[in-house]
């Protein structure tokens, strides 16, 4: 399970919540949550803000994996 999916579960939030709070399409968010798509910086910032988290906390593992 990726970090974003874990945070959503811990905070009892859904992809629908993120769609409403971020304005990112459900299609893109579904792909990001499943780990099938990496968010662009703007999307990562919106997701982090909606969840009251830092981008680094949610996506750092993804960045480390890519390096």
- In degrees rounded to 5, what are phi and psi of residue 31? -65, -40
Number of domains in the chain: 1
pLDDT tens track for 6-44: 999 999 999 999 999 999 999 999 999 998 999 999 999
**Spatial CA neighbour of 39 closest among 50, 55, 54:** 55
- For residues 23, 44, 39, 27, the Cα torsion angle rounded to the nearest 10 degrees is -30
pLDDT band at 61 (very low <50, low <70, confident <90, very high): low
Structural domain harbouring 33: 3-66
CATH code, domain carrying 43: 1.10.260.40
């Amino acid at each position: 399970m990726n970090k974003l999916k874990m945070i959503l579960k811990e905070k009892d939030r859904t992809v629908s919540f993120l769609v409403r709070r971020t304005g990112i399409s459900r299609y893109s968010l579904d792909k990001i949550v499943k780990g099938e798509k990496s968010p662009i910086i703007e999307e990562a910032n919106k997701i982090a803000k909606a969840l009251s988290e830092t981008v680094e906390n949610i996506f750092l593992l993804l960045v480390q994996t890519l390096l």
